[in-house]
Amino acid sequence: MDLSRIRNRIDILDSEILKLLQNRMELVLMTKKFKDTIQDEDRENEVLSRIRMNSTALIDFDFVERLYRDIIKESKKLQEKDFRLFAFQGQHGAFSEAAAREWNIDLIPIPCEEFAKVFEGVVSGHYDFGIVPVENTLGGAVSQVNQLLINTDLSVVGAVELPIRLCLLALPGADHREIHSVYSHPQALSQCRRFLARNNLEPLEWSDTAGAAKMLSERRPKRAAAVAGKLCARLYNLDIIKENVQDLERNLTRFFVLGKGKDPEHGNKCSIIFSAEHKAGALFSALEVFAKRKINLTRIESIPSDPGNYAFFVDFEGSVREERVAKGIEEVRRLTSGFRLMGCYKEKKIQ
């Protein structure tokens, strides 16, 4: 091992330490939801005592104690700022996090392992908002999310339409000619199928795009790359081999922002969900209401609910403050069952 390799390893460890510190601070912000005051001397002493027990001969404990006292001080400073938390599924760098930042840059994004955890966390009050993908122009509806939307009491308080620009990422200094396999979320892999086939790259599925980038950075598998967003290159110290590897230029994902309350602002988009009777013309009668009132529908999706039954998701332009929209909603409510107005909100379209 030479000096260059040792320094490269130190750089990797520094990056990992910063990411771990970021994760610790995120958890610190979450703890505030469970306690009445920021000051907790017993907990601080407990942390320092455990650090003392785990200290090694190489590192002087006085140095470690000073370091942790600074970390605790910074933790309390963050808690005093009263940040609001925004949950998303995946790892940092995910497109859901990018969409969350487009919706409100002042919120703190917190990663969750599963979509269900995003819903549960907002319902329980652990997070102030959650963001989930509902449909993609290439992959269609995100069925798992739409299934969760059927049974939740959460409201849609915002939406973001985000261009998905996929990049081929590799370890620093890797020769792109030696790459044989590519890790990413199944939907991302399907969105760049032709690019992968054209370059004889084997697609390997991973839980999410950012997770694949993180895995590549940490496990460093040989002759491998990842397909993920550009942000992941910076977060996980990876090289961008090629940008925009998706097969079609128009690759958009639409995200719902979920909250407990309603959007206090004047919305320009509405989302409803309902079921229709199993008889001819039942669905048509409901949709005809919008046509008669000249309300533009932007999404119609059917998702299996109970065995043999379907829930219909309908998005349309307009606000519940408009008389024609309000009356149309009430008419559809009378014609259907299980009707729910999921929300009236503003939608951001990112270029």
pLDDT digits (tens, 9 = 90+) for 166-213: 999 999 989 989 999 999 998 899 889 999 999 999 999 998 899 999
pLDDT at position 264 over 70: no
Other beta carbons within 10 Å of 340: 16
pLDDT digits (tens, 9 = 90+) for 230-255: 999 998 989 999 999 998 888 899 99
Distance of CA 309 to the CA centre of its chain: 29
Annotated domain spans of the chain: 3-80, 85-163+252-349, 167-243
Q: For 3-80, CATH number? A: 1.20.59.10
Beta-bridge mates of residue 301: 313
Q: Please give the pLDDT value at position 23.
A: 92
| Distance of alpha carbon 268 from alpha carbon 310, whole angstroms | 27
User: Mean pLDDT throughout 294-316?
Assistant: 89
Residues assigned a catalytic role: 253, 255
Confidence label for 74 from pLDDT (cuts 50, 70 and 90): very high
Confidence label for 265 from pLDDT (cuts 50, 70 and 90): low
| Domain 167-243: CATH architecture, name and number where available | 3-Layer(aba) Sandwich (3.40)
Residues 184, 187, 190, CA angle at the centre, nearest 5°? 90
Which one is the CATH code of 85-163+252-349: 3.90.1720.10, 3.40.190.10, 3.30.470.20, 3.90.1150.10? 3.40.190.10
DSSP output for 144-193: HHHHHHHH---EEEEEEEEE---EEEE-TT--GGG--EEEE-HHHHHHTH
| Distance of alpha carbon 198 from alpha carbon 219, whole angstroms | 27
Helices (H), the chain: 3-31, 41-54, 61-80, 95-103, 115-124, 143-151, 186-191, 193-198, 209-219, 230-235, 282-292, 323-335
Look over the chain and give the mean of its residue pLDDT values, rounded to a whole number: 91
Percent of the chain residues past pLDDT 90, beyond the cut: 67
Q: Please give the pLDDT value at position 14.
A: 87
pLDDT at position 55 over 80: no
- The pTM assigned to this predicted structure is 0.88
User: Mean pLDDT throughout 210-233?
Assistant: 94
Q: Please give the pLDDT value at position 288.
A: 94
Confidence label for 263 from pLDDT (cuts 50, 70 and 90): low
167-243 matches 85-163+252-349 in CATH topology: yes
Q: Exposed (0-12), middle (13-18) or buried (19+): which is 182, by Cβ within 10 Å?
A: buried
